[in-house]
C-alpha cells in the first residue's frame, strides 16, 4: 500500500506491472525490434518532459511546449537546405529558447499568470506554425541526420542523447544548489525570496529551458517522422503532462523527479504500444492513458486530503492566509 | 445567516454597491472597445456596416456567447477556466443525436443531461478533492474525446432526417421564432441575461463572488465552498451543452472534434470582458462585451483580408495584452489581490 501511494516508487511498480501483463498477453512485445521502437518513441518526448517538469516544479505551467515542439520541427526541416543540419537545429533551439524567454518575462515582469501567458503563446505559436507551413506538411530530402540518430540498435544516438539529458537534469535538480532553489521556489516562493534566491531569474531560466528543450524535442520528432506537420504536437501535450504527473510531480510545484517522469513516459508509450499489438485502436489507447492519469490525479488528491484532515487544519486555507500578506 | 441573504423587503445590501460600480466601469470599458471597433470597421471596409454583415457577426458570436456566459462562473469562483468545454459540447450533441429514438424533446434533454453530468464530475473532483482545475479539465477533455471516438469508432453521427426528432434537430440552429427572430439569438440573449441575474441578484451569485475573492473567508462565513464550486462547473457544462446542441445542429452531424477552439475563445472573451482570472471580479454583461469584441475583431480582420491563421496569432496577442493591461491597472489601483 505504501508503495502504491508513495510518489517515489509507484512509477517503477507501474512499469513492472504493465510490462509483465504485456509480455504475457501481447504478441511480439518482448522482441528486440519492438523494444527499439518503444525506446525511440519514448525518447522523442523526453526533452519536452524535462522542460515541463522544470516549469511545474517552480510552480508554473507551460502549456505552449507542444506548439514550440511543432515549431522546432518545422524550422529544423525548413531551414535545413539553407543552414545545414547543425545550423537549422541550432536555430530551432534558439527560437524555442526565445519563446521561453518571452513566456518567462511576461510571467515574471508583467506578472501575468503563467496559465494565461502560455495559453496565449501556444495559440500564437500554433498560428505561426500554420502560416509557415501553409497548413501542409514539410518533408525532408536529406536523410543524413535522421539516419545518424536511428541506426537499428537499442542504444541509438537518439536514445543516448535523451537519456543523457534526463540524467544531467536529474543530477542538477537533486544535487546542486540551483536545483534545490527550483524546489524551494515551487514549494514556498516567499521563503525562496527571503533566502536570497533570485526568484525572477530562476523562473525565467525554467521557461527558457522548457522552450529550448521542447524545440529540441521537436527536432528529434521531425527526424523520426522524416517530416513535420502542424498537428504533430497535439498528442505530445497530453502525454507529457500525464507523464510528469504520473511520475510523481506535484501539481502545485515543489516536488518532482526527472527520472521518474522519464519512466512514466516509458510506461505510457509501452502501454499504447502493447495495446496496438493486442489490436486495440487509437481511441482505446487515448481512453486508457486518460484513465491512468485520472486515477493518479485522484489518488494524489485523496492522499493529500487525508493528510490535511489528519493534521487537523485545512492546510490550503492557511496557505491562502500566509500568501495574502504579500 | 449566509452572505448575501437579504431581509425580505429590504434594499439590496450596500456592501455590494462599490463592487458593482467598479465592475460596471470595467464593463463599460469593454463597450468602449466595442464602439471603437465598430468605428474602425466602418472606416476600414464598406461592407462592414450592412445589416447582413452585422447579423452574421452576431450569429457567429452567439454560440461563443452562450458558452462564455457559463464558463464565466467557473472563472468567477477563482478556478481559472473549464478546459473541458469543447469535449462537452461535442458530447452533448452526439448523445442528443444517438438519443433520437426517444423523441424530439427527450433527445435534447438527454444531450443536456449528459453534458451536465460531466460538469458534476468536474465539480466534484475540483470542489471536493481540490485538484488543479486546469489539469483536471484537460484530463476529462482528452478522456472524453477518446471515449467519444471509441464509442462511435471515430465516425460522424448523422441525425435521422426521417424522424420528427431528426428533422427538428437539424433545423434547430436555423430555427426562427415568431417575428423572424432567430432562436439562436434568443438563446444567446437568455443565457447572458440569466447569467447576469444569477450572478448579481441571487444569494448564490454573491456566494460565488465571495468564493472567488477569498475562499477562506467564504469558508469561515459558513458557505459550503465545495458545493458552490460544484454548481459553477455544472453551470459551465450546461451552457456548453446548450452550445453543443446548437453547434451540432449547425454541423448537421455529431463529431468528436466539434467545439475545438471554444475553450480558448471563451476564456479570451471572459477575460476581455473584465473578469479577472483570480476570481471575484466582473460581470456577465462584461463577458457579452468581450464576446462582441472578439466577433467584431474577427469580422474586421476577415473583411480586410487577413487570413484565418494570422487572425489566430492576433487573437493570442490580444489575449495576453488585455490580461497584462488588466493586471497593470489593478496593480496601480492597489487592488491586485491575485
For every one of its 326 residues, what pLDDT tens digit does chain A have, with 9 covering 90 and above? 565 667 778 888 888 988 888 888 887 888 888 888 888 889 889 999 999 999 999 999 999 999 999 999 999 888 888 888 888 899 999 999 999 999 999 999 888 889 889 999 999 999 999 888 887 888 877 777 777 777 777 778 888 899 999 999 999 999 999 999 999 999 888 889 899 889 999 999 999 999 999 999 999 998 888 888 888 888 888 899 999 999 888 888 888 999 999 999 999 999 988 888 888 788 888 888 889 899 989 988 888 888 877 776 666 665 655 555 44
Q: How far apart are CA B139 and CA A237, in angstroms?
A: 11
How far A66 CA lies from chain B's nearest CA (Å)? Answer: 14
Q: How far apart are CA B47 and CA A107, in angstroms?
A: 40
> What is the per-residue DSSP string for A209-261?
HHHHHHHHHHHHHHHHHTEE-TTTTHHHHHHHHHHHHHTT--TTSS---HHHH
Phi, psi dihedrals of residue B153, rounded to the nearest 5°: 50, 35
Structure confidence at residue A316 (pLDDT): 62
Q: For the purposes of burial, counting CB atoms within 10 Å of the CB of B24, is it exposed (0-12), middle (13-18) or buried (19 or more)?
A: middle
**Nearest C-alpha neighbor of B109 from the set B120, B119, B95:** B95
How far B186 CA lies from chain A's nearest CA (Å)? Answer: 31
End-to-end CA distance of chain A: 40
Q: How far apart are CA B335 and CA B316, in angstroms?
A: 26
Range of the structural domain that residue B225 is part of: 20-330
Taking the Cβ of residue A112 and every Cβ of chain B, the question of whether any pair is shorter than 8 Å is answered with yes
- Angle at CA of residue A169, ends A164 and A173, nearest 5°: 150
Q: For the purposes of burial, counting CB atoms within 10 Å of the CB of B117, is it exposed (0-12), middle (13-18) or buried (19 or more)?
A: middle
Q: Are B76 and B215 in contact (CB under 8 A)?
A: no
Q: Are B160 and B100 in contact (CB under 8 A)?
A: yes
Q: Kindly state whether residue B2 falls inside one of the protein's structural domains.
A: no
Per DSSP, chain A holds a count of helices (H) and strands (E) of 14, 2
CB-nearest to A297 from B136, B142, B154 is B136
A291: how many CB neighbours lie within 10 A of its CB? 14
Asked if the Cβ–Cβ distance from A115 to B130 is below 8 Å, we say no
Structure confidence at residue A3 (pLDDT): 59
Q: Kindly state whether residue B10 falls inside one of the protein's structural domains.
A: no
Q: Are A99 and A121 in contact (CB under 8 A)?
A: yes
Q: Kindly state whether residue B182 falls inside one of the protein's structural domains.
A: yes
pTM, 2 dp: 0.86
Taking the Cβ of residue A241 and every Cβ of chain B, the question of whether any pair is shorter than 8 Å is answered with yes
CB-nearest to A286 from B135, B146, B327 is B146
Q: What SS3 state is found at B157?
A: strand
**Which position has the grid cell 487537523?**
A312
Q: Kindly state whether residue B12 falls inside one of the protein's structural domains.
A: no
Structure confidence at residue B8 (pLDDT): 45
**Nearest C-alpha neighbor of B234 from the set B81, B89, B100, B124:** B124
Q: Which residues of chain B have pLDDT under 70?
A: 1-28, 335-338
Mutate to test the interface with A, among B307, B313, B331 (most CBs of A within 10 A): B313
Q: How far apart are CA A293 and CA B141, in angstroms?
A: 12
CB-nearest to A120 from B130, B154, B320 is B320
Q: How far apart are CA B166 and CA B209, in angstroms?
A: 41
**Which position has the grid cell 472597445?**
B33
Considering its fold, how many domains does chain B have in total? 1
Asked if the Cβ–Cβ distance from A123 to B267 is below 8 Å, we say no
Q: For the purposes of burial, counting CB atoms within 10 Å of the CB of A324, is it exposed (0-12), middle (13-18) or buried (19 or more)?
A: exposed
A33 DSSP 8-state letter: H
**Nearest C-alpha neighbor of B127 from the set B234, B210, B267, B266:** B234
Structure confidence at residue B27 (pLDDT): 57
- The radius of gyration of chain B's CA atoms, rounded to the nearest angstrom, is 20
**Nearest C-alpha neighbor of A197 from the set A206, A207, A185:** A185
Q: Are A148 and A23 in contact (CB under 8 A)?
A: no
Q: Kindly state whether residue B9 falls inside one of the protein's structural domains.
A: no
CB-nearest to A245 from B135, B324, B338 is B135
Q: For the purposes of burial, counting CB atoms within 10 Å of the CB of A232, is it exposed (0-12), middle (13-18) or buried (19 or more)?
A: buried
Structure confidence at residue A58 (pLDDT): 93
Taking the Cβ of residue A310 and every Cβ of chain B, the question of whether any pair is shorter than 8 Å is answered with no
**Which position has the grid cell 489566430?**
B312
CATH number for the domain spanning B58: value is 1.10.3470
Closest chain A residue to B331 measured between Cα atoms? A111
Q: For the purposes of burial, counting CB atoms within 10 Å of the CB of B5, is it exposed (0-12), middle (13-18) or buried (19 or more)?
A: exposed
**Nearest C-alpha neighbor of A54 from the set A216, A197, A161, A170:** A170
Mutate to test the interface with A, among B121, B131, B145, B326 (most CBs of A within 10 A): B131
List of chain A residues whose C-beta atoms are within 8 Å of the C-beta of residue B216: 317, 320-321
Taking the Cβ of residue B324 and every Cβ of chain A, the question of whether any pair is shorter than 8 Å is answered with yes
Q: How far apart are CA B281 and CA B21, in angstroms?
A: 11
Q: How far apart are CA A184 and CA A189, in angstroms?
A: 7
Q: Are A271 and A239 in contact (CB under 8 A)?
A: no
- Angle at CA of residue B337, ends B333 and B338, nearest 5°: 115
Q: For the purposes of burial, counting CB atoms within 10 Å of the CB of B43, is it exposed (0-12), middle (13-18) or buried (19 or more)?
A: exposed
Beta strands in chain A (DSSP E): 138-139, 227-228
B260 DSSP 8-state letter: T
How far B139 CA lies from chain A's nearest CA (Å)? Answer: 6
pLDDT in tens, B44-70: 877 777 888 888 888 888 999 999 999
**Which position has the grid cell 500500500?**
A1
Q: Is the dihedral of CA A22, A26, A30, A32 positive or negative?
A: negative
List of chain A residues whose C-beta atoms are within 8 Å of the C-beta of residue B264: 119, 123
Asked if the Cβ–Cβ distance from B129 to A298 is below 8 Å, we say yes
CB-nearest to B143 from A290, A301, A304 is A290
**Which position has the grid cell 540524467?**
A167
Sorted by sequence, the CB contacts under 8 Å of residue B199 that are 6+ apart come out as B73, B76, B205, B208, B209, B283, B284
C-alpha cell recorded at residue A300 = 494524489
Asked if the Cβ–Cβ distance from A110 to B312 is below 8 Å, we say no
- The CA dihedral of A294, A299, A305, A310, to the nearest 10 degrees, is 180
List of chain B residues whose C-beta atoms are within 8 Å of the C-beta of residue A103: none
Q: Kindly state whether residue B338 falls inside one of the protein's structural domains.
A: no
Taking the Cβ of residue B134 and every Cβ of chain A, the question of whether any pair is shorter than 8 Å is answered with yes
Amino acid at each position: 500500500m505504501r508503495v502504491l501511494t508513495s510518489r517515489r516508487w509507484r512509477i517503477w511498480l507501474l512499469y513492472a506491472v504493465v510490462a509483465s501483463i504485456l509480455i504475457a498477453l501481447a504478441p511480439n512485445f518482448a522482441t528486440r525490434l519492438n523494444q527499439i521502437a518503444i525506446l525511440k518513441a519514448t525518447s522523442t518526448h523526453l526533452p519536452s518532459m524535462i522542460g515541463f517538469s522544470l516549469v511545474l516544479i517552480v510552480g508554473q505551467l507551460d502549456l505552449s511546449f507542444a506548439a514550440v515542439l511543432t515549431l522546432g520541427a518545422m524550422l529544423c526541416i525548413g531551414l535545413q537546405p539553407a543552414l545545414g543540419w547543425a545550423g537549422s537545429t541550432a536555430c530551432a533551439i534558439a527560437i524555442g529558447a526565445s519563446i521561453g524567454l518571452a513566456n518567462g518575462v511576461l510571467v515574471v515582469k508583467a506578472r501575468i499568470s503563467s496559465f494565461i501567458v502560455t495559453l496565449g503563446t501556444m495559440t500564437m505559436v500554433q498560428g505561426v506554425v500554420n502560416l509557415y507551413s501553409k497548413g501542409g506538411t514539410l518533408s525532408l530530402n536529406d536523410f543524413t541526420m535522421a539516419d545518424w540518430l536511428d541506426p537499428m540498435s537499442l542504444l541509438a544516438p537518439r536514445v543516448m542523447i535523451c537519456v543523457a539529458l534526463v540524467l544531467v537534469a536529474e543530477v542538477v535538480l537533486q544535487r546542486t544548489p540551483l536545483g534545490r532553489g527550483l524546489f524551494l521556489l515551487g514549494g514556498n516562493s516567499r521563503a525562496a525570496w527571503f533566502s536570497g534566491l533570485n526568484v525572477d531569474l530562476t523562473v525565467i531560466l525554467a521557461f527558457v529551458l522548457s522552450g529550448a528543450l521542447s524545440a529540441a524535442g521537436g527536432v528529434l520528432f521531425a527526424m523520426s517522422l522524416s517530416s513535420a506537420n502542424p498537428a504533430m504536437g497535439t498528442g505530445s501535450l497530453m502525454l507529457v503532462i500525464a507523464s510528469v504527473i504520473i511520475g510523481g510531480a506535484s501539481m502545485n510545484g515543489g516536488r518532482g523527479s526527472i527520472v521518474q517522469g522519464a519512466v512514466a513516459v516509458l510506461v505510457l508509450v509501452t502501454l499504447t504500444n502493447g495495446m496496438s499489438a493486442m489490436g486495440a485502436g487509437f481511441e482505446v489507447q487515448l481512453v486508457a492513458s486518460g484513465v491512468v492519469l485520472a486515477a493518479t490525479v485522484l489518488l494524489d488528491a485523496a492522499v493529500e486530503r487525508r493528510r490535511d484532515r489528519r493534521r487537523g487544519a485545512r492546510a490550503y486555507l492557511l496557505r491562502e492566509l500566509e500568501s495574502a500578506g504579500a | 445567516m449566509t452572505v448575501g441573504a437579504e431581509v425580505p423587503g429590504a434594499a439590496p445590501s450596500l456592501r455590494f454597491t462599490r463592487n458593482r460600480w467598479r465592475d460596471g466601469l470595467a464593463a463599460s470599458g469593454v463597450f468602449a472597445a466595442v464602439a471603437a471597433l465598430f468605428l474602425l470597421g466602418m472606416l476600414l471596409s464598406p461592407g462592414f456596416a450592412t445589416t447582413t454583415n452585422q447579423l452574421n457577426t452576431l450569429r457567429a458570436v452567439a454560440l461563443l456567447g452562450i458558452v462564455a456566459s457559463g464558463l464565466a462562473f467557473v472563472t468567477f469562483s477563482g478556478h481559472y477556466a473549464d478546459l473541458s468545454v469543447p469535449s462537452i459540447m461535442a458530447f452533448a450533441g452526439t448523445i442528443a443525436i444517438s438519443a433520437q429514438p426517444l423523441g424530439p424533446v427527450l433527445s435534447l434533454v438527454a444531450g443536456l443531461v449528459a453534458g451536465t453530468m460531466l460538469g458534476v464530475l468536474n465539480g466534484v473532483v475540483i470542489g471536493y478533492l481540490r485538484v488543479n482545475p486546469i489539469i483536471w479539465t484537460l484530463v476529462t477533455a482528452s478522456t472524453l474525446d477518446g471515449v467519444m471516438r471509441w464509442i462511435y469508432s471515430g465516425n460522424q453521427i448523422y441525425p435521422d432526417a426521417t424522424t420528427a426528432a431528426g428533422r427538428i434537430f437539424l433545423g434547430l440552429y436555423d430555427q426562427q421564432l415568431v417575428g423572424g427572430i432567430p432562436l439562436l439569438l434568443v438563446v444567446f440573449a437568455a443565457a447572458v441575461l440569466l447569467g447576469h441575474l444569477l450572478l448579481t441578484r441571487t444569494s448564490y451569485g454573491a456566494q460565488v463572488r465571495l468564493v472567488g475573492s477569498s475562499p477562506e473567508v467564504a469558508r469561515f462565513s459558513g458557505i459550503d465552498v465545495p458545493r458552490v464550486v460544484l454548481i459553477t462547473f455544472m453551470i459551465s457544462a450546461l451552457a456548453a451543452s446548450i452550445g453543443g446542441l446548437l453547434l451540432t445542429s449547425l454541423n448537421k452531424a455529431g463529431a468528436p472534434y466539434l467545439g475545438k477552439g471554444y475553450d480558448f475563445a471563451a476564456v479570451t472573451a471572459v477575460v476581455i470582458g473584465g473578469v479577472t482570472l483570480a476570481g471575484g471580479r466582473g460581470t456577465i454583461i462584461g463577458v457579452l462585451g468581450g464576446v462582441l469584441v472578439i466577433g467584431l475583431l474577427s469580422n474586421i480582420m476577415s473583411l480586410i483580408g487577413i487570413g484565418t491563421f494570422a487572425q489566430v496569432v492576433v487573437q493570442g496577442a490580444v489575449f495576453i495584452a488585455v490580461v497584462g493591461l488588466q493586471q497593470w491597472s489593478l496593480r496601480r489601483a492597489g487592488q491586485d489581490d491575485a
